[in-house]
């Protein structure tokens, strides 16, 4: 598989200003704080973590809907970190976003036809082509073409997400960042939309970054998974390897809340203490140390970096991996 996207040490910090007349920057929300990922053509990379960990900001920064504070983004080998104007407009065709909330993301005053064909119009597609494309897209997302003159409020949540997907596909993108695409839907509908997304991926050779906090959904759809905590990736790897053999205490805690995702004999319960610290004032060293049952002095002083797990498609950022793994394995007996 060839590399489609590479992100190097990407940061997105939002400055905080204080003072009404002469506002001064007093700090920054470190929403994304140095993430590095590679995504290959045709694969799905799951991005998981609690809400507020920076997943959505990471997605929007990769798509250049937000300006990165630092780091690099490469798309098909080309550095796109600073592209602007016409070049950025062309890139937009290839990279799309599917939103979490199919209720809020569709304009209530526009018909389905207007909504789905709008991007095609912007890129100068003829009326005839737009009509053909619209009919095809509605068909592939499982909507009847008599729906096209209707408005979003006439549809259910699942149907609206299908409309959002049709719109995202309007310009034949290669990369789609899916930001919690099913979390606003009923569980019974979630599976249908996920199955649709998998079918579309095969049909159009799409590459997905799939952002979610629901680990079962991510397990189902992803080839690889990255776990985010306070703006950083703490563990990344092949989906079965990471779910079957998690090494980072945070990943272990997340996974132990969905026992069905892992074999019974490997289940160990780790409960997370406390709340997610503020991303404007994150803990020094390992950002997880305030909640980690294994934390020692070194964790407060030194930031752990991602290290390869020998013999596996798997990396983890924790000073005490060996101890954590030995401990949790000991409690399994």
Token look-up 């069905």 returns: 260
Stretch that binds ligand SF4, among 16-24, 77-85, 174-182, 318-326 (CB under 6 A): 318-326
3/75 Cα distance (integer angstroms): 8
Would you give the binding string for ligand SF4 spanning residues 243-282, x where CB under 6 A is met?
Answer: -----xx---------------------------------
Q: How far is the CB of 207 from Mg ion (least distance, A)?
A: 20
50/275 Cα distance (integer angstroms): 10
286 contact, one of Mg ion, ligand SF4, none, CB 5-8 Å limit per kind? ligand SF4
The strands making up 224-229's β-sheet, listed across from edge to edge, are 95-98, 175-179, 207-212, 44-48, 224-229, 232-238, 314-316, 307-308
Would you give the binding string for Mg ion spanning residues 44-73, x where CB under 5 A is met?
Answer: ------------x-----------------
116 contact, one of Mg ion, ligand SF4, none, CB 5-8 Å limit per kind? none
Q: CA 272 → CA 88, 212, 251, 256, distances in Å? A: 41, 19, 11, 10
Q: Which of 54, 207, 318, 328 binds ligand SF4 (CB under 6 A)?
A: 318
- When the beta carbons of 90 and 302 are compared against ligand SF4, the nearer one is 302
Would you give the binding string for Mg ion spanning residues 81-110, x where CB under 5 A is met?
Answer: ------------------------------
143/304 Cα distance (integer angstroms): 48
289 contact, one of ligand SF4, Mg ion, none, CB 5-8 Å limit per kind? ligand SF4
């Amino acid at each position: 598989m060839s590399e489609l996207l590479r992100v190097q040490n990407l940061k997105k910090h939002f400055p905080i200003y204080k003072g009404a007349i002469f506002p001064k920057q007093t700090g920054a929300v470190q929403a994304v704080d140095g993430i590095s990922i590679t995504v290959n053509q045709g694969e799905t990379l799951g991005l998981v973590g609690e809400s507020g960990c920076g997943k959505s900001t990471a997605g929007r920064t990769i798509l250049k809907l937000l300006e990165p504070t630092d780091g690099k983004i490469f798309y098909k080998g080309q550095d796109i970190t600073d592209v602007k104007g016409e070049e950025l407009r062309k890139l937009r065709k290839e990279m799309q976003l599917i939103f979490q909330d199919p209720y809020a993301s569709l304009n209530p005053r526009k018909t389905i036809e207007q909504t789905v064909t709008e991007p095609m119009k912007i890129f100068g597609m003829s009326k005839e082509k737009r009509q053909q494309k619209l009919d095809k897209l509605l068909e592939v997302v499982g909507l009847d073409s008599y729906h096209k003159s209707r408005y979003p409020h006439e549809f259910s949540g699942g149907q609206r997400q299908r409309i959002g997907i049709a719109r995202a596909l309007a310009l034949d993108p290669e990369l789609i960042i899916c930001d919690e695409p099913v979390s606003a839907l009923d569980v019974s509908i979630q599976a249908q939309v996920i199955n649709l997304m998998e079918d579309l991926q095969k049909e159009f050779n799409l590459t997905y970054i799939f952002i979610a906090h629901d680990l079962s959904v991510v397990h189902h759809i992803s080839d690889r998974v990255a776990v985010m905590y306070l703006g950083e990736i703490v563990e990344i790897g092949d989906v079965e390897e990471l779910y079957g053999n998690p090494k980072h205490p945070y990943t272990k805690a997340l996974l132990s809340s969905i026992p069905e995702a892992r074999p019974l004999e490997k289940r160990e319960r780790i409960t997370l203490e406390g709340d997610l610290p503020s991303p404007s004032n994150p803990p020094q060293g390992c950002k997880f140390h305030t909640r980690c049952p294994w934390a020692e002095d070194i964790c407060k002083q030194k930031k752990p970096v991602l290290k390869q797990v020998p013999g596996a498609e798997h990396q983890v950022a924790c000073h005490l991996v060996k101890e954590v793994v030995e401990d949790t394995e000991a409690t399994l007996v």
